[in-house]
Structure formats: structure tokens, C-alpha cells
Structure 1
Amino acid sequence: MFDFLYELYWRYYCSLSLLSELELLPDELLVKILSYVSVSDLFYGWLNLNWRFNAIVHSIRIKEFYTVPKQWHSCKNSNSIVESLHYLASQLVFLHIDQCLSSDVVKEINTIKFSHLRILKLCETNASQLDVIQAYNFPYLEHLSLVQTTISFEVLCQFKSLRSCELNSLEIDAKHSHLSSSIQLLALRWCHPWDMAILLRHFPQMIFFKVFIFLSNSVVHHPIVNCVHPNLISLDIHFFDLDSSMNEADNSRYGCISELLASISTGKRIRYCVTLVDMVNFNYEQFQCAVLKLNFVRFSYRLIWLHRFQPVPNIDCIRQIPLFNKLKLEHIGSKATLFRSIWTDTSILSYYNQNILI
């Protein structure tokens, strides 16, 4: 359906002399066709043609993307972008600004004008834009993505309509202990292992949690507290080893990871997906022992090596371990190599190891 409408739009867009033929289409179809047009094209190409097109343009719920490589042609003239966005601000329900726009252009965009947004995705934010990201400025916001930004948990809790959120990290301190958020899907790009219990406690309605955890010897470690979450269904954890070395063996990595997995109690219906990044001297056998003790019914894992940091170890040796014998190559490129497994019932694998292999 999208391809048909998009091709139909370009057929008429390339020849405005066919405007009379375009007017033969019903309003409902014109609204669908023009909903795929960029804000700049709507503003400069379709407004003020006649009263009917003005009414149609002003009735569209606009979803605007500035991503690479989509709409690169619309990103050349910063004045046209800013002017058209501000003029049609009340109709904007989806705004995604990626790195294809220069920082100078992003600074000119006044996000406070977009009070009807349902979805807001900003790759970068300046201080003034971050200050206006408040619940009273975006009362209808349902999804917020600020992948390079850290915001206060207190601010996040004020968004009553927010259902999903993607952030670099959250600021939570003792004064926020009484607060909770109704967010159901949360993704964090930076977190310490001992902060997991705090996060789960403050998001009691969360059903999906994706988190990046960085392991480093330079950080003072704190005890990992056990926690019980009533609603969590899917847990996707990425572990990054910041201090891995080919000449150094460190068993503390698997211990920290297994301790964290064991500390989260949710019931057997949960889906666990663990991604290990740049784990060179990782003790995969001891990690298997720790995982099998937890009896996960839905467990999957991925192994990633970033080539600029670490070479790929001997995968055949890792596959000799029962938990990793279904490891399959999914991607190999100039920047990274990715292996992953299918979903595994570790309770069955644990029984097999205890009763057949022994």
C-alpha cells in the first residue's frame, strides 16, 4: 500500500500541470498520499494551491523523519526545514531527527512548538531543547528517544502518557525513592550492574527492558541486590567488557554477569537475551554452569566482537560447550562479527547434562 501511494504521489508531483486530474481523487486518498510527503514539500509545494488543498494539508497528521539516507535532499536548505516545521507544528505527531541535520539546523528547531507530538526521537539535544522536554509541554507524548542524553528520573515520571523510552542513562538518587513510572518499554545505553534493582523497582509496569551494562576494573563495585519484578516479560542485556585483554584471564566477568541474572526474579515466563561484547578471555564453561542453575525456559545469547578492539577467538572451541553448541554466524563485516543462538530451554539442557552426560 505504501509503495502504491508513494508512486502515485510522485507521478503527480513531477507534473503540476496534472493538478486538475489530481483533484478528481477523493479527499481520503489525497490525505493518505500527502501523508508521505515531507513537511518542506507540503509547505512549499501544496499550500495555497486552492482552498481544498489547504484544508487537506491542514488535516494531515504529519510524521517527519530526518534520517540517513532518507530525505537527504530535503536537508540541504536549513531555512526551509525550520520554517516549514514551525508553520505546521500543531499537526506534527511524529518527529525523528538523526545526525543528517547539522547542529546549527537542530539548534534553530524550537521543539516547544510541537505540543501534539506522540513520538519524539532526537539523536542530539542542546541545553535549551533539553530544558523544554517536560510533561506540560508534551502532554500527549507516548514515546521518547534521546539516545545520547541523560535525564532525571523525576522529569520522566511526570509524563503520564509515556509508554516507551530510550535514553543514554537515567539520574536516580535517594530523593526519588517514592516515585514510580508507568513506562512499559525501557532501553538504556549505560548502566552499572548494581543499579538494576533500583531501576526495576521504579518501573513496576515495565514488560520489556533493554540495557547496556559496562564492566570495568576502574569502577568501584557495589553489591548486587536481589529483586522481584511482577510484570517483566522480556529482558535484553548487553554486557560490554571495557578491560578485556588477550593476555589476561579474568574470571570476575562471568561471576558478575551470572550474579546479576540470578538476582532478577520474575517467573519462568520471562525471555532472557544476553549479549556478550568483546569477551576475549571470558570463562564460557563457568558461565554455562551459572546459567544452567537458573533454569531459564526462554534463553538466547549473542556474541559480538568489535574488530577495532578485539580479534575473534576460536569459535569451534566455544561450540564444544553444550550451551554454545548451537552458535551460528549471523553477520561478519569490517567493523564487527556477530554470532547468535536460537531460543533455548536451559532447564532441559541442565537435566540432560546431569542425567546423560554424567
Structure 2
Amino acid sequence: MTALDDTFDSPATREAARAALTAARPDATAAEWRPLGRGNRKETALATLADGDHLVVQAATDPAAVRSERALLDAIADRTSVPVPTALASERVGDAAALVTEHVDGRDLHERFTALGVSVRRDLARAFGRSLAELHEAFRFERYGSVAVPARPDATAAEPAVELVAGAASGEDVPETGGTDWAAWLGAYGRSGLARLPAAFDGLRVDLATLFDDPEVESAPPARLFPWDFRPGNALVTDGELAAVLDWEAPLAAAPALSLAKAEYLVADWYVEESEPLREAFRAGYESVRPCPAVDPVHRAAAICRTAVDSNGVVTNPGYPELSREKSVSFHRRALEDVLAASDIE
């Protein structure tokens, strides 16, 4: 049995988790806590209650981020049919905050995807495409950048949030631009990913930089929700159907083509060698809601650069079982080589 004190790293996140769980289920007692993972921004645990029920508790030392994720979860549930866990409560205690959601039964799609039948994989790719299109239809912004609830000095994580806006603020995942010039924002986004790539990519660096320095793209495409971590690794599946999409922290606003390129890489290319049927299914799902935007080489290059290496500088591992680092580098490099071959860079 794991206790609360052994689940969250700091007293602040422990107290926030305790307060949020109490707000969600005032009369319940957690019989056991089980860590589910520690990301760059938050800690997540499964709380098993004395009555046998399960709840998921996420805590972070960034109350504004918790408040924004709660607002986004509520808005997705209200505006779309995208399956997300129901947010039950969120609380701020000092400099930390926690969010409690329902626990959704299902299998980790990252671990299951390659074992599923071909038709089931296509159906899931179609569901991802449809979900992304619904998000693009439901969320519109005035600029490109980070998406958050407008900050207020008296705001609490528990307070209902009714507005999400895109701001020009910069950060780990957001370029330092004003957020109104799409070519500048996309170029900066791509270059930030390019800077993370290890030496094995040096032979491509000059051509990729040229692609990002003056991207030939639509001048002012609409800014829509960009769920940059929208992938099977953040999804649960039950009986071959998408049961829930998880992890909505730190969302962005960008042109639809960029999020389409990134999601295609993570859904269609990531797991199988024959990716075209999955890409077709993904796009068919998207087009069942809205027309597909034109995806250019610069969109793909930016998406791959930002996916190939995480924010800690670690090369990401496609497939399941996951590829070794050496094979992962080759996977991402080949993808970038294909993009450059399709571009006008000579």
C-alpha cells in the first residue's frame, strides 16, 4: 500500500492533492495511492477509495496550468464528442494545485496499437482524425501561442473558468514572437525543435534551417487549438474503440496544418511500416467534420523536429516495443530526409 506522502514529491503538491480529492468526494477516504507518472510539469496518481472506486489526481506547482487544463477539459466535454475524463474538482493550496478526474477503464493504446487488427487500427486512426477536426472547429483564437485562462490575482484552481485565450507569452513550447505573424511563429517553432536535435542530424541542419528561416505558407491561417501531444500514447482503448484521450496540459494555438502534420506523424507513421492506409483513414476522419488543410513540407519538418527530441533533450522512441535510440534517430532522420526531398530546398 502506498501512502499519499510517498506519492507526491513535495508537501505543496501533497496538500493540493488532498484538498482536491476532498472537494471531489467529501466523504471518501483514499485507501491507497499509486503513482502513475511524473511529467515535466505535473505528478499523476491513482487514488483507490475505501469503497473501491478509483480517481485520478494530478498535482503541480503551477496553479495557472492546472486551472487552464481544467478549463480545457470542461470545454472539450461541452463542445465536442472527443472522449475525455470528466473533471470532478480542482483546488489550489498555496503555490500548488491539483485536479481530480474520473478514472476511465481502458488499455494503454501505445502498448496495444501494433497488436490490434488492421481494420481496428484504421478505425482508431479515423477516430483520431475526427477528434482533431472537432477540436479545430470548436476552438478558435485571435493569435498563435500558448492557450490559457486569463490570469487574475484572485483566481483559484477550483473556480469555474469560462474563457480560454491564446497569448503571446513564450515558454518551453512557445516561440518568442508576437503571435500574429504565422510565418514567423512557425519558423521559430521549427527552429526551436531543430536546436534540440543531436549531432546525428547535423547533415540536415542547414537545409532545415533554410526551410524554417523563410517558410512559404499561408499568410494568416486561422488559429485553432493545437493539442501538441495528441497521440496513442495519451489514449485509452476499450473493445477496439477510443475510450479517452488524456493529458491536455500546456495547449497551444496554431494553424490547423501544423497540428494535422504532428498528429499524422504520431498516429500514422509511428507504429507501422505501411503508414499510408492509416494516414488515409486519419484524413478521412478529419474530413468527415471539416476540409483538410494543405500540409506543406515546412509543417511536417517543424512537427518532426519538435517530436524527435523531447524538452529534456532525449530522443523519442517510435513503435511498440519501442525502438532503440540508434534506430529511433534513424527513424526521425529518414522522415526529415523525405520532407526535404519533397521541398524546394536544393
| TM norm structure 1 | 0.24
Tell which has more relative contact order, 1 or 2 (C-alpha 8 A, sep 6+). 2
More strand by share: 1
Q: Which has the higher helix share?
A: 2
TM superposition score normalised by structure 2: 0.25
